[in-house]
Structure 1
Amino acid sequence: MDEVVVLYVDDDEDFTELTAAFLERECDRFRVETATSVAEGLNRAGDSTFDCVVSDYDMPERDGLDFLEALREDAPDLPFILFTGEGSEEVASDAISAGVTDYLQKEQGTSQYTVLANRIENAVERHRSQRALEASEQRLSLFIEQSPLGVLEYDSDFQIIGLNERGEEILGYTEEELRGHSWEVIVADDSYDNVDAVTDQLAVAEGGYHSIDENVRKDGEHIRCEWHNRVITDDDGEVVGIISLFQDVTERVRRENELERTNALLSTLIRSLPVGVLAENSDRTVLAINDRLLELFGISEPSTELIGADCRELARKTSELVVDSEGFVERVDELIAGTESVHNESVALTNGRTLNRSYEPIELPDGTGHLWMYRDTTEQREREQQLQRQNERLSEFASVVSHDLRNPLNVAAGNVELAREAHESDQLATAARALARIDDLIDDLLTLARKGDNVGEREPVSLGTLVTDCWETIETGDAELQTDLTATVVADRSRLQQLIENLVRNSIEHGGDGVVVTAGELPDGFYVEDDGVGIAADRRDSVFQAGQTTSRTGTGFGLAIVKQVAEAHGWTVSVTESDGGGARFEITGVTFAAADR
């Protein structure tokens, strides 16, 4: 127990020593110091700290009440007991008026020291309790004023009695404006029932309550606040007040809601993806996994039960279905150690199917996570192999056409030419034209078969120069070319030349005598048009199909080559009607050289 230091002042030195001895015997916590005059007592009180002062009343020069008055100047609340032999009502009244803590009359016998010791203990305990309460209240006041949180104080009837400066900033009200009001003035209708339930609980219980509610500022703005409510009770357990600490969490709640929506969207997306997905935490536990992955590797557990599972064990389990099971696990560990993106690695399964694996390291709040995607490419690989076989057969066909068919064709064309020199015959002229058409067909077929959708190195190409060159290399008859092209495009020159030659040749073959062919620029490309008969609207969708022609001399492959070249460059080709009523072909999506744009 804490020591109690008592100062006893009495002009009777013998009685003073006796009293001190009995008091220390009555309570081993007491340490009693003595003085025999008011002056000495004041000096002792000024030099030392005491828990209680006991003083006689009737002393020379200055009495006990004078001592009290002088002492109160420096120690206004120090317990002071008047222990006097002058037992009159007048003295008692003066003592009470002067503010003594207690008044006790000296008596005969030693029992009076027991009573005095008891009075001293009670006075000191009350004083210490009061000082502790005041210190606590001061600390609470400082906490409330300096708190980074809003602090709202209620009385036992839930009427507002205090609001700190931070609370004023959050709610927009001053303390004076809210004092005497209930919580209803700052709570939105949607949170009314929740707050009402909390206050009911607070009114009958001890402890704290946490809630997040929608509140209304003075300016009408609705905000979300997080509240921590604490009941304050007295020694009897009765509620004497409530302290509510709160903060504006509007932005936090918005972010949490947004994160929740994002997580829900991502979860739905992962579940719905046609590829197997596994996301790992930095500690290599399952963060997310979809049913498609389990299906690909023949795992029977529900995906929800694998959240948090050890991914190392999962890799070992899935490796049982992989042809190279040991290599599968080693490669997984290697990719994680390297943390570099990998795409489309082939994984062969024991059931004959083939998967493509992709890996991406992902940055998570607690470190680097890992994202795996597995896609079943069995059917795709089968289609690719089938296409490869078709391409090989097509290549063989092109070789046959180029060598085995063209050689006898050249022999036939040469003999027809010799025969025509020796004999004039309409039949021979018709045969020569037919052989020339076969030669054109072979050229177009070889272009479609060999070059296909491929383009070579792209370079800047002057459209105006290229159109002029194409015009000079084909049979144009009495057709006329008009062009003001100045743009430079980025393209494979050889294949672009094929495209333009076939468009020009199409206009000459179908436009009629004296057709005018015009080439011009578009904002994102160019066009070639004529003033011929045009193309009927119901035929425009089919003109790019191989073999489609209305000309007796055409091959039907020219516009198919145009479309093939355009698409190989990533361009779009379309057909419409020109201003002169003929056909107009527009090539768009073209990349121009930087100097032209």
Structure 2
Amino acid sequence: MPQAHESPYAARLVLVLGDDDQASELVSTLADDGLETVRVAAAPEALATLDAVDVSLLVVVEDAVARPTDLFGAAARNGHRPPGLYVGEKTQKLPPGVEQAPSSPEAAAAAVRQRLLAESAADADPAIERDPLAIFGSTVSHELRNHLGTARLAVEPLEGPTTEQAFSALDRLETLATEAEAIASNEVEEPDPVDLSEAGSAAADRLTGPDARIVIEAGQSIAADRDLLTLMIENLFWNAVEHGSTHSQTQSADAVGGGTVTIRVVDTENGFAVVDDGPGFESEDPFAWGYTTGDGQGAGLAIVRSIAQAHGWSVSASNDDGARVDVIV
């Protein structure tokens, strides 16, 4: 069974220097996020902590007794050069490696997470460096969940159709967080029978914008995680229409007419395939992270392969009067 990847914040210690309510609120917010923190009130305590333990990030809160330049300078003289963050609204002259963050606890905590993620990626061992989707999945999942609770609290007092749209969007974000988490873990624990026609239609419904004629011919059921299978097909659809369009429509097998590209989901002897009548693939390995023929990040087909691997499937790409991706289950 594939091994789940640990949190990018695991074994990361944040040292916070500050003795006021602002520092307390920041430490509390970081603790709610599951980050390990140590708070000290004075510079000598901070320096002693640096001597005693491995600190991943040193945070100086505005109005702390020590100035950032003095503290980081003293730390450097003692042989410590941890990444740093200054939390405050007043612009400060900061030493190299130290960034400034807004004073609100939520914004400061977000800046802390971003710095830790950057350090985690920089320190990653070769196995993790070769698996950018693991870092991508865990990062997206964590960041989405951090903000979903706050967004729901803000929407709950409201009423009307706009509120329903907002809750629908939040539900989709919650699903994205779950999907990203599954991509990071690279495993599907309890697959269920999923109708390919239903997953294909659900994926097509997510295509807001591109002009495409989507034909769902597949009728079999396969054992899969429903959300991840839908996400896989959605990414294959987006790949087919990435060269531009303005409208999408889902049609039955006998559909006629259409837009700039026709995409079909078909059954095969060993699984299913998504085929289109576009220009086809230009790379021998279009599933590689970063592969793109447009302005995107090149993550879509890499996600497709990762989802397939999580199910124990394989994928292949070919050109046959357009692009074809076969999923062997």
Query: TM-score if structure 1 supplies the norm length?
Result: 0.24
The structure carrying a bigger helix percent of its residues is: 1
- Higher RCO (C-alpha 8 Å, min separation 6): 2
Task: Tell which structure's C-alpha radius of gyration is larger.
Answer: 1
